[in-house]
Amino acid sequence: MASARSVSPGAALLRTSRMFSLPQALPQPHREGSFRQSETATEPYPTRQIISTTSLSRRTGDWGLKRPLPLRTTTKTTIPMIKVNQVDSIESVTDFHPATDHGMSLRKFQEMNIPITVPSNKGGMNMPKKSVFEDDFDFTALGQKSGEQATDDMDMRWKFKGPWLAGLTDGEMQKYLETHVRSRRSEFRKFLKGKLAKEINESAAREAKDKGEEAPAAQEVDASKITDVELTNFLRRLRDDRPRLYKLVSQFLDLAPIGPPAHSADMWKKDYTQAPLTLKVGNPYAKEGPPITHPSAGLSYLRTASYLENNPLYGPQAKRAPVEARVVAPRHGNGARGAKLGVGGFVTNVPGGDSTFNMSRVSADIRHERTPGLERLDPSIKGGAKVWVEPLFATVNSKGQTIVTVGETDNKSPDIAKELAGGEALQIEEKPVQRSTHNWPVRSRGRELGASVIGSSRTYGLKPEDLAFEK
């Protein structure tokens, strides 16, 4: 203990750095109910840092900690990954557990090469998604803009100091009021005085502009000159204007925005000078709540899905390489939830829309023949039922869960993927090329390639003048 108290500044800096110390563990994910929860199930996100080591160091038990770890438990796993619960326990041993569950899920996810998108707030409209790294959603610095644009940036953030009120229970709400709100009453009155002074100055400048005069700077009202009577009258007006009152309270407490009603008159606006119909986009996290971490969660840094995969045997491919998904739960026996697939360590739904996974006009027996194991459990399938799907994009919700969206793939893509992995060669029938003297118009395939996630050229540092070719 004496040596711990007499630590030099350099040693204290090293002890608190990420290079020489482990970060604090994150809180455990919130469980809504215990009757359907499993103690052995993988958590939605890791709460402790994963540590890995080389094969040579693992043979000697060297994991970069203060003491070597036992070889009997660390050399049985194929991939060296552990998470340390406690470096020094009461028994003077290191408490650790394997961490291949989250470590391998990260590797498999990055192999799929899919972007992370923001949640859609357009209801059931089938529109392309936007990446979380777009300029409209990812803010690294505020205060560089002014006016209405700065207010829009504040509303489109994903990180707020205050909570999301729609997700608080009664007890959490009362605790928040007692600890963070009641003691700041005087600060809120000072904040309202500043807003009232700004409103008075803007009203005076507007009247002077209508008269063709310039508002003198000497007549500007300062917040310190607002009397208690004027503030009381301002509070009475705010009580009759609930939306404005909630907006001011949200600005003062920095509360996360709450989604508007489903059928709001302000959702659609008509602008005859530009587009005939434009959609007013609000905060994408207002409906379900802001995420607990960055919207990408460090899983992927791709900004768009508009890229081509170049196969070493067949050249550029029209579609990305599919992945083999495991049927975790068949459609029959899972109630009204539908079939569930396991893709890269994440559970997802079957592709929606009109596809081979959703053939309502075909009998269940025919669907079972086309996709064995998807309609009902088939224990005769060796290794379990599997299907080939195309990963499209993923979204991280407010609970930290990763929601992967997959689509249907064509018939040739799985065979190409199997051949590339060392399987049987694909038999392709070569057809003679028919030459024609007619000049048929070539259809653009811009909507077919990467139409699920769109990106802006500004996100890659390109400007419109940079995209112009030299003549």
Segments making up each domain of the chain, as ranges: 20-112, 310-420
Q: Is 467 exposed, middle or buried (0-12, 13-18, 19+ CB in 10 A)?
A: exposed
**Residue 307, token pair as written in the block:** 């890229």
Comparing CA positions, the residue from 385, 382, 378 lying closest to residue 350 is 385
**Helix boundaries (H) for 350-460:** 364-370, 412-420
pTM: 0.74
CB 307 within 8 A of CB 452: no
- Region of 338 (left: φ > 0; alpha: ψ -120 to 50; beta: rest) is left
Per-residue pLDDT band for 121 (boundaries 50, 70, 90) equals: low
Q: What is the pLDDT of residues 413-450, one digit of tens each?
A: 888 888 887 777 666 665 555 555 555 444 444 444 44
Task: State how far the Cα of 194 lies from the Cα of 225, in Å rounded to an integer.
Answer: 10
Give 127's contacts (C-beta < 8 A, 6+ positions apart). Answer: 120
Mean pLDDT of the region 274-303:
74
Tokens (6 digits) for 282: 């609000």
Report the distance separating Cα 290 and Cα 222, nearest Å.
36
Average pLDDT, the chain: 77
Nearest to 197 by CA among 224, 235, 233: 224
Instruction: Tell me what pLDDT residue 422 has.
Output: 78
Identity at 163, one-letter amino acid code: P
Q: Quick one: average pLDDT of 310-324?
A: 88
Using DSSP, state whether 84 is helix, strand or coil: strand
What kind and span of H or E run contains 329?
strand 323-329
Q: What pLDDT is stored for residue 289 in this prediction?
A: 85
- The Cα 284–Cα 172 span in angstroms is 24
Name 346's bridge partners: 343
Residue with the bigger pLDDT between 229 and 272: it is 229
Distance separating alpha carbons of residues 101 and 48, to the nearest angstrom: 12
- The Cα–Cα gap between 61 and 80 comes to 11
Q: Which of 323, 330, 414, 339 is nearest to 379 (CA)?
A: 330
Give the largest Cα separation in the chain, rounded.
92
Dihedral angle, C-alpha 210, 213, 219, 220, nearest 10 °: 50
- As given in the structure block, the two tokens for residue 102 are 């989250």
Q: What is the pLDDT of residues 155-206, one digit of tens each?
A: 778 888 889 888 888 999 999 999 999 999 999 999 999 999 888 888 888 8
Q: pLDDT exceeding 70 applies to what percent of the chain?
A: 72
DSSP-based three-state secondary structure for 355: strand
pLDDT tier, 5 (very low <50, low <70, confident <90, very high otherwise): low
23-71: per-residue pLDDT in tens?
888 887 776 655 456 777 788 888 899 999 999 999 999 998 888 999 9
The pair phi, psi for residue 406, each rounded to 5°, is -120, 160
